[in-house]
Chain A
Amino acid sequence: MLLRRIYQFLMIYLIGLAILLMIKYVVNLSDYVIPSLGILLNTFGGISSTYAHDVFSTLCVAIIGQIFSIMLAFVVGILGRKTTWLGSLIKVAAYNIQAYPIVALAPIIFILLGDGFVSRLLIAAMICYFPLLLSVVGILAEPITEVEHFYQQTGRMRWQLEVKIRSFENLPKLTTVIAGSATLAMAGTIVAEFIAANAGIGYSIRIALYQSDLSKILVALFMIGITLSIYQGALEIAGRLVKSAWEQ
């Protein structure tokens, strides 16, 4: 699973790179616009360790933001799973807020909180939170009647048991949603860093953009992609481990 994700990323990255190089040679563009393979490899050798550190910094923020989002999504999902007025309110609010581009709020966060760690974390969490919430509410609000019937009939049903049944029955779906939200958390952090932060790979991409250095941007994209593939693969493996541990 992990290797498959890495293969898939490498294939897509290499195809993209090949198309870019093809355009360069067909249209006869200079190395300044699209760097040659040699320049790219040279840049990779020069900055890969710096960028690896930057990507790691971004990933850490993304992971913390994602964990925060997952916890909050479960709390709100548990409250919103019922067909009460509160449940309906939470669902409607989640649908509506989710439709709003959260990135547009980023400048406000930077103005209020500055360009440090907290701003990056908050934007990352906000970007991955709402899609996560919608999925979690959807999963936890859907009764598994064939399992829950007995507990309801015998008066044993408690909210903890209800959440346990619904989570267990939808574990593959939850794992996919959480793995998918990792991309959003990473994207959120990079966007935050790109806008105004003072660290992370988004910040490095911004500097590379100011220098018009496409080779650095391509190296950054490679580092981001490979790191995210490993992280998502690890999340999927963790999901499988949780399921098998639960089933034993």
Chain B
Amino acid sequence: MFLDCRDLTFGYQGTTKTLFKNLSFKFENPGFHSLFGSSGVGKSSLARILCGLLRADKGVVDTDSIDSLLYAHNLERLPGWSSIGAHIERITPIHNQDKKELLIRHFGLSTHLGKRFSQLSLGQKNRINLLRYLVQDFNVLIVDECLANVDEKLRARILINIKAMFKDRLFIYISHNVIEIASYCQQIWVLRGPERDQQAVLVRGQDCRDQKCLDRSSLQQTMLEIMNAA
């Protein structure tokens, strides 16, 4: 399984600014990967191009090896006419019911299922939104800031559990948290803007699968590489 982008050029209509110019990168193999870059560099726009919500002016997005690519972002809301438990129940395929129960526990949402989406905190909203994507059938999931407003400890626990439960899936994790990306991701594509010669630089992350695996000096090295590339 791979996600290959070649020579992507894109700019929003009505603006003179080009967001990507001949941008090329490739995510190979299942696992936890990342798109990183400073605010406004085009991470979310790129995610929208990858899932077909936006069309690139030029270039190729090769998703032939992928059956289902989903894009989750942190601005989403669940419909307000039912409780989140009823909503999750309704949208979970029968064969993923066990997975759903497990994820609810890992995500710390068991006590909130009777509530409406509007009654949740921001962190709870983001968690429940990510959870409903995880119970779908997908090969690739783009996770755009979906763990924003969640405390560090719970974020780490969630990421480790996702990695353990979905070993055969490809995740593209978009976040501004350098430590998190350096710690848990394999391939980190750092976006640098169209004015730079090389618009995307690949950094290898630590790809930790549990919280004990972190080696302080190699983590610092990876973080330094990411920051230098950005």
Contacts and interface: CB of A to CB of B under 8 A. Distances in A.
Interface of A: 146-147, 149-150, 153-154, 156, 164-165, 168-169, 246-247
B75 interface: yes
Interface of B: 51, 70-73, 75-81, 91, 116, 129, 132-133, 136
B94 to A, nearest CB: 15
B78 to A, nearest CB: 7
B91 A149 contact: no
A235 B208 CA distance: 59
Contact of B91 (A146, A154, A169, A247): A154
Closest 4 CB pairs of A and B: A146-B77, A246-B81, A153-B70, A147-B77
A247 to B, nearest CB: 6
Contacts of A169: 80
A166 B75 CA distance: 17
A246 to B, nearest CB: 5
Chain B contact residues, majority secondary structure: loop
Contacts, number: 37
Contacts of A146: 75-77
A247 B76 contact: no
A154 B138 CA distance: 9
A247 B78 contact: no
A147 B118 CA distance: 13
Contacts of B133: 150, 153
A168 B77 CA distance: 13
A165 B136 contact: no
A153 B79 CA distance: 15
A149 to B, nearest CB: 6
Given A150-B133, A168-B81, A247 B116 contact: yes
Nearest to B142: A153
A149 B76 contact: yes
A156 B135 CA distance: 14
B79, B132, B133, B136 pick with most chain A CB within 10 angstroms: B79
A247 B119 CA distance: 12
Contacts of A149: 71, 73, 76
A62 to B, nearest CB: 31
9 contacts: A149-B73, A149-B76, A150-B78, A150-B91, A150-B132, A153-B71, A154-B70, A154-B91, A168-B80
B96 to A, nearest CB: 12
A169 B81 CA distance: 10
A196 B110 CA distance: 66
Given A150-B78, A153-B71, 7 more contacts: A150-B129, A153-B51, A153-B70, A153-B72, A154-B70, A156-B91, A247-B116
A165 B76 CA distance: 13
A108 to B, nearest CB: 44
A153 B70 CA distance: 6
B192 to A, nearest CB: 28
Contacts of A150: 72, 76, 78, 91, 129, 132-133
Contacts of B80: 168-169, 247
A153 B72 CA distance: 9
Contacts of A247: 80-81, 116
